[in-house]
Amino acid sequence: MTLEERIQEVNQRIEEACRRSGRSAADVNIVAVTKYVSQSMTAKVLDSGLKHLGENRWQNAEDKWNALGDRGIWHFIGHLQTNKVKDVIGKFEYVHSLDRLSLAKELEKAAAAKDLVIKTFLQVNISGEDTKYGLAPEEAASFLRDIQGLTHIKVIGLMTMAPFEDEAEDTRRVFRGLRELKDALNHQGITREPLTELSMGMSNDFEVAIEEGATWIRLGSVLVGKEEEE
């Protein structure tokens, strides 16, 4: 399949998931995850009209960003080491993986130095798997309280990763759990503004995530492909 065909098919599946759940496709944003592909493929993704690009390692993103930085809106979706914050700040508009206080403090310092506000998602480990990063759900409220004073970080929502399941339906409880946590945190009114965003759903499970309220889906293989397929 060509990139255009994959985009068309994904858009159709998004629309169907929205129809099933009474949502508008306009409320579901795609982050095209380019971590598996080259700079030239990333350029094609931008040519196709997709603007939001996701990368999970600065080392892999650096050349693409240097060549194409101005053309896209960049999302850092991987685990972020504090010593890499300086590379990311000012280049990536969104960080999906805020998961600890030391990282929040480092982001605050770097963003303040550049006089900008970085948009972040709190990464939460809803599934409870040992192998997954993220705060435990019950830690989220106190974490948000701890970072209330950090004015160069704007937490716009929550992010999670579901376990890989053969049946996508089996991921539903994870996505529902993230949505319920967002609602509960908003009810407590901890953040300056309500959390509006849910970053959840990948190639294997994005339709279920949309049905449960995803506003950002992060799509690699199903959309951008993997380089060996090109």
Ligand X SMILES: *Cc1c(COP(=O)(O)O)cnc(C)c1O
- State yes or no: residue 221 binds ligand X (CB under 6 A): yes
Q: Of 144 and 222, which has the nearer Cβ to ligand X?
A: 222
- State yes or no: residue 6 binds ligand X (CB under 6 A): no
Applying CB under 6 A, which of residues 134, 137, 220, 225 lies at the interface with ligand X? Answer: 220
- State yes or no: residue 52 binds ligand X (CB under 6 A): no
The DSSP secondary-structure symbol of 198 reads E
Sort 213 into a burial class: Cβ within 10 Å, 0-12 / 13-18 / 19+: buried
CA dihedral sign of residues 12, 18, 22, 28: negative
- State yes or no: residue 202 binds ligand X (CB under 6 A): yes
- State yes or no: residue 190 binds ligand X (CB under 6 A): no
Q: How far apart are CA 57 and CA 88, in angstroms?
A: 10
- State yes or no: residue 155 binds ligand X (CB under 6 A): no
Applying CB under 6 A, which of residues 3, 14, 32, 77 lies at the interface with ligand X? Answer: 77
Bridge partner list, 75: 54, 94
Q: Of 150 and 225, which has the nearer Cβ to ligand X?
A: 225
Applying CB under 6 A, which of residues 53, 76, 78, 108 lies at the interface with ligand X? Answer: 78
- Alpha-carbon distances of 221 from 23, 128, 225, rounded to whole Å: 25, 25, 4
| Long-range contacts (CB closer than 8 Å, 24 or more residues apart) made by 173-179 | 174/126, 174/127, 174/200, 175/200, 175/201, 175/205, 175/208, 175/209, 175/211, 175/212, 175/213, 175/214, 176/212, 177/126, 177/137, 178/124, 178/126, 178/212, 179/212, 179/213
Q: Of 1 and 184, which has the nearer Cβ to ligand X?
A: 1
Applying CB under 6 A, which of residues 6, 35, 64, 75 lies at the interface with ligand X? Answer: 35
Q: Of 146 and 169, which has the nearer Cβ to ligand X?
A: 169
Residues 97-136 that bind ligand X (CB under 6 A): none
Instruction: Find out whether 165 and 123 touch, Cβ atoms under 8 Å.
Output: no
Task: Give the count of residues interacting with ligand X (CB under 6 A).
Answer: 14
Q: Of 50 and 202, which has the nearer Cβ to ligand X?
A: 202
Q: How far apart are CA 123 and CA 96, in angstroms?
A: 7
Q: Of 53 and 104, which has the nearer Cβ to ligand X?
A: 53
* Neighbour tally for 193: CB within 10 Å: 9
- State yes or no: residue 219 binds ligand X (CB under 6 A): yes
Task: Provide the minimum distance between the beta carbon of 212 and ligand X in the complex, in angstroms, as a whole number.
Answer: 16
Contact region with ligand X (CB under 6 A), list: 58-66, 86-94, 180-188, 216-224: 216-224
Q: How far apart are CA 34 and CA 55, in angstroms?
A: 6
Residues engaged in binding ligand X (CB under 6 A):
33, 35, 56, 77-78, 161, 202-204, 218-222
